[in-house]
Amino acid sequence: MTAPARILVAEDEPDVGMLLREILASEGYEVELVPNGHLLVERAQEQPPDLILVDLLMPLMDGLEAIRQLRNDTRTSHLPMLILTALGDSSRIVEGLETGADDYIVKPYEREVLLARVRSQLRRASRLPARNPLTGLPGNVSIQAEINRQLEQGTKFALLYIDLDNFKAFNDVYGFARGDKALHLVASVLQEQCHPGDFIGHIGGDDFVVIHFGADPEPLCKRIIQVFDQRIRTLYDEADLQRGYLVATDRYGIVRQFGIISLSIAVVTTYTRTFRNYDELGRVAAELKQAAKQIAGSAYKIDQRSDDVIPPSPNDRRSSSSPEALIVCHDDIVRTAIIATLNVRGYRLLIADNEIAAQGLLAHNPHPALIVAEFQRSTPIQIWQQMNHNSTLIALINDDEEATIAQQAGAQVIIRLDGSPLNLSDQLQAALSTPAR
């Protein structure tokens, strides 16, 4: 006997939620009701349902943000999602569909219309193609089945979860046709660089996976990044390449400079850890992907934890309430000293080697509490001014001229670089221990 479809409903009005549950349960569906977007994301990640109904206006986290987070998570990105909205609220409907919702239902609910749209989405989800129609690679259903199969067999493998950075800006400027070429490029690079026995899949959008059966996934990550970073430049207009960035609007409505498309790769292995299923493995991959995306440019993060000793994950060790710090510094030694100091202070770090790369990070993390920026190659004045001076600005300078620029920009702290990482760390510690003026 086929199990009933599970439907997760997010609705903050108890009476409306109970009505929805009654209608759906009367048709044999298994229904879970949550009162806000935060619990919706949590429950969907813990036990992905077959369908999600989400109200747009809710406390703690609204429906739009919940949909965005679910679409960015490998465990939930494929789920059908319907938004619940008031009659005549067309602008919110459009925003919800653009965020990632598949359809909408208008309040007050007509029973037959509600059930028809639910059946339609469940039917569509059950008919998802085994292969992604754009790249021809195995799609999400096949990927989940393959990962679960390998886990059941006890195979040792590395899962590479690959995501494109700055892809939305590229699509906005050049259009979807060229965006499709970028996705084809990723697919071709993976097919060329991976071992013949590796499994390559396209989850959807700009998310790809590789199941790699080699002993060390790091060389593969390096090859993929090296080849991709070279070839992606061929899809840009020459003028944009010379300038080094595209100008586009981020999801907060701020016009920013976005650098060349890059890759963020999260790597989870079964070499030293065991996973029961795709969901457990996907949860770790999603954590690592977020850590990789906090570093500007192409980057990879490999999970080094084991079943015996599992230290905090990249996201777990910095709670969601921990302040963010943006580092803008081209010098590797100086940047390493800053990272070590701010890590000890508990900051969640956004790391860029130039101002354009910093703009790309701010498109997804627009309100860092702290900016530590080098004034040698580029001045972060524009970035700081965009945030209305709400962040603390610590300027790293080399001479009196740069000190004057930093003072005029309004930097609260000015640190002169003398070639000593230890001195830099001590000055940073002192500055962060002193209340802002």
339-379, pLDDT tens digit by residue? 999 988 889 899 998 888 888 888 888 889 999 998 865 55
pLDDT at 433 over 70: yes
Least-confidence region, from 195-204, 369-378, 400-409: 369-378
* pLDDT above 60: residue 99: yes
Structure tokens at 405: 């620029």
- Whether the pLDDT of residue 384 is over 80: the answer is no
Strand 262-269 with 158-165, pairing: antiparallel
CA–CA–CA angle 195, 199, 204 (5° rounding): 125
pLDDT digits (tens, 9 = 90+) for 124-182: 877 766 678 788 888 888 898 889 989 998 999 999 999 999 999 999 999 999 999 99
Residue 189: pLDDT band (50, 70, 90) is: very high
Please tell me the predicted confidence (pLDDT) of residue 338.
94
The per-residue pLDDT for 315 is 44
Contact 296, 361 (CB under 8 A): yes
Report the DSSP beta bridge partners of residue 131: 138
Would you call the peptide bond into 108 cis, given omega within 30 degrees of 0 as the criterion?
yes
Summarised one tens digit per residue, pLDDT across range 307-331 is: 765 555 444 444 456 899 999 998 8
pLDDT at position 366:
84
**Which secondary structure element, helix H or strand E, spans residue 173, and what is its range?**
helix 167-174
Asked whether 267 and 194 are in contact (CB, 8 A), the reply is no
Mean pLDDT of 181-202: 92
What is the pLDDT at residue 211?
Answer: 95
pLDDT of res. 389:
61
Give the whole-angstrom CA distance, residue 139 versus residue 246: 30
Q: Residue ranges of the alpha helices (H) in 294-399?
A: 332-344, 355-362, 381-386
The one-letter amino acid code at 361 reads L
What distance in Å separates the CA atoms of residue 80 and residue 381, rounded to the nearest whole number? 43
Record the tokens describing residue 164, joined without a space: 């494109």
Percentage of the residues of the chain whose pLDDT score is greater than 90: 49
pTM across the whole model:
0.65
Match 């930093």 to its residue by tokens: 406
Cβ atoms 79, 48 nearer than 8 A: yes
Q: Give me the chain's average pLDDT, please.
A: 87
- The number of beta carbons lying within 10 Å of the beta carbon of residue 385 is 11
Tokens at residue 195, please?
A: 């071992």
Chain centroid offset of residue 416 CA: 35
Residue 227 corresponds to which tokens in the numbers above? 């080849």
pLDDT for residue 246: 94
CA dist 156 and 307 (Å) reads 14
Inter-residue contact 361 to 326 (CB < 8 Å): yes
If pLDDT is split at 50, 70 and 90, which confidence band does 90 have?
confident
